Amino acid sequence: MNEYPLCPECGGPHIYFDGTTYVCPDCSSEFDVEALSSSTAAQVCKDSNGTPLADGDAVTVIKDLKVRGSSMVIKQGTKVKSIRLTDSPDEVEGKVDGSVMVLRAEFLKKG
């Protein structure tokens, strides 16, 4: 079975290939996968100061963060070593107090 990408306009899964481009019947948009992949590759994960982040970087939390579904709080100044970038340019994954968590890059500072 072929795996087609989601529509970049509406996020709809009902995509079909018409021979030259992909078409979304939900919103009538047409797109090329090569152009779509180059535009998503251009998105870079940046910290609160606008510094680009990469896999393996060490970051510091810039404000107290409440952890959803828990009474835990990640304190300001907590160091997170060896982060991993996620599919979203706004989020990174890192180990905090022994637990792997997804953190918003806007609350992190590189270094």
pLDDT exceeds 90 at position 40: no
> Residues 93-97: what's their mean pLDDT?
93
* Confidence grade of residue 59 (pLDDT, cut at 50, 70, 90): very high
What's the pLDDT at 66? 94
Higher pLDDT, 10 or 40: 10
DSSP 8-state secondary structure symbol assigned to residue 103: E
Backbone conformation region of residue 42, classed left if phi is above 0, alpha if psi is from -120 to 50, else beta: alpha
Q: Give 77-90 pLDDT, tens digit per residue.
A: 999 999 999 988 89
* Confidence grade of residue 1 (pLDDT, cut at 50, 70, 90): very low
- Non-local (6+) Cβ contacts of 108 within 8 A are 47, 48, 53, 59, 60, 61, 62, 80, 92
Domains defined along the chain, listed by start = 1-42 (2.20.25.10), 59-110 (2.30.30.40)
